[in-house]
Amino acid sequence: MEARDIPTPAWMTPAFFTMIAIGALLALAIIIWGTLRRRAKAAERRRAEAHRPPEPLASPAAALPAAAPVESMIPVAPLVAPATTMAAPLVEPEPEPVPDPLPALSDKSSVVTAPVPIAAPVPEGRPLTLLKGLGPKAAARLGELGVASVEALAATSDAELAALDAELGALAGRIARDRWAEQARLLAAGDIAGFEARFGKLGG
């Protein structure tokens, strides 16, 4: 078979290739021009920095803060006394007179005994029978144990209450169950309203 000639496209003409070459030359020229322009600007910047006058240095006097004014010295009296004062003779203090010893007592009868102060009688407090659930028998037993009034029971600590309860025998447990200590503390504090609100009318 004979080879056929491939037809050349109509747009591939010498003018087309000429335009491509001109465009490539223009692009190359623009690149070269931009590079030269950047180099020229950098050179101008370096020359400007080289010719820039140096900044003046701050004078040492201006950098230092102004010194505070020195106050005038006020004359102070000398602390050391004059030599004439130091040379004064020292006066020795006179010895205190020693009291004469007491004369010995001839007999024991002359010894004066200081009176022993008698404690003032403690006023009796309110009876324990004012408390709800505390009858004469329990009051008598508590009195034997040293608690004979409402005020005395109110001042008793919890540990002492436990010891009292252990000594009540058949009445053991009544202190906590009937809340005798709580009642006594309300009455001792004068809180009658609080007492009656919790335990009923007083004396009823």
> Domain locations in the chain?
127-203
Which one, of 157, 194, 199, 164, lies nearest residue 178 by Cα?
A: 199
As a whole number, the mean pLDDT across the chain is 75
Q: Cβ(180)–Cβ(157) under 8 Å? A: no
pLDDT at residue 88 greater than cutoff 50 = no
Q: What is the mean pLDDT of residues 53-60?
A: 58
Q: What is the C-alpha to C-alpha distance for residues 139 and 150, in angstroms, rounded to an integer?
A: 10
pLDDT digits (tens, 9 = 90+) for 138-197: 999 999 999 999 999 999 999 999 999 999 999 999 999 999 999 999 999 999 999 999
189: which residues sit within 8 A by CB, 6+ positions away?
A: 154
3-state secondary structure of 132: coil
- Read off the pLDDT band of 51 (50, 70, 90): confident
Output the CA torsion 13→15→17→22 (10° steps): -170
Q: What is the mean pLDDT of residues 88-115?
A: 53
Higher pLDDT, 43 or 141: 141
Range from 4-13, 50-59, 162-171 that averages highest in pLDDT: 162-171
Helices 192-199 and 180-188 sit at what angle, rounded to 10 degrees?
150
The model carries a pTM of: 0.40
Higher pLDDT, 41 or 185: 185
> Which pLDDT score, from 0 to 100, does residue 176 have?
94
188: which residues sit within 8 A by CB, 6+ positions away?
A: 150, 151, 154, 155
- Read off the pLDDT band of 136 (50, 70, 90): very high
